[in-house]
Amino acid sequence: MADSNEMTINLAVLGRTQTGKSAAGNSLLGSLDFESHLSPSSVTTCCSLGCSCRILGITRRNGCELVLRVRVLDTPSYPHSSLSKEQVKHTVRSALAHHFREEGLHLALLVLRADLPLCPDENDQTILFIQELLGPTWKDFTAVLLTHADKAEAAGFSEETYLHKASSTLLSLLSSVQNKYVFLDNQKSINKEERTTVLRKLLNFIRQNNYRVLLKHDKE
């Protein structure tokens, strides 16, 4: 925190190619910091940090409104079309240590597409990667961000009915991270109201974790 009336939260977006990681990062920042477009190959090849402007109207402390700043680390996907697992892991680990060495990471956001089923093999591969990257306490510092929720809604699914119909693989994953999940409507992602809703949920997850942070170092 810069002062008693300001709060900064540090986030990282992780996930597979074309899940919408970079677009989700832009939504959280309220900007277009990260390159994001449809591509037959992985778009993001290195980590980059985006920082939001001062955000008002999100949270309060002791009756006083806090100024919120959001920092988002965009990362290469895993699996990646041109980088090995070790290359991606080294790149992300080094970036976490460089950008969040002092303040630490509040939440890693595992980005999944709500309009695609999560298969066991895919899930196992992703979870193993996150475990190796974040360490044994990964569940405390990981939340699931379900993008393309607008497509699920267009197919007739509310959040409740979607989870009722979800695969056991997804439900097991959500349970393992203490049901820390957020739906992101890609059609409304630039909407201030949608962004406020998502940020408030993420802040609530951080609050439930007693504002703890994950500290990473290059040599880990």
> What would the pLDDT profile of 116-172 be if each residue is shown by its tens digit?
999 999 899 999 999 999 999 999 999 999 999 999 999 999 999 999 999 999 999
pTM for the full predicted model: 0.92
CA distance 165 to 27: 27
Q: Say how many domains are in the chain.
A: 1
Residue 1 banded pLDDT, cuts 50, 70, 90:
very low
Lowest mean pLDDT, pick from 26-35, 137-146, 203-212:
26-35
Instruction: Judge whether 220 lies within some domain.
Output: no
Q: 178: domain range?
A: 6-209
Is the separation of the CB atoms in 50 and 33 below 8 Å? yes
Residues 66, 29: Cα–Cα separation, whole Å = 17
Is the residue at 1 inside a domain? no
Enumerate the β-bridge partners of residue 105. 214
Asked if the structure places residue 149 within a domain, the reply is yes
- Using DSSP, state whether 155 is helix, strand or coil: coil
Do 55 and 68 contact (CB within 8 A), yes or no?
Answer: yes
Q: What is the CATH number of the domain that holds 101?
A: 3.40.50.300
What is the C-alpha to C-alpha distance for residues 112 and 180, in angstroms, rounded to an integer?
13
29, part of any domain: yes
pLDDT on residue 81:
84
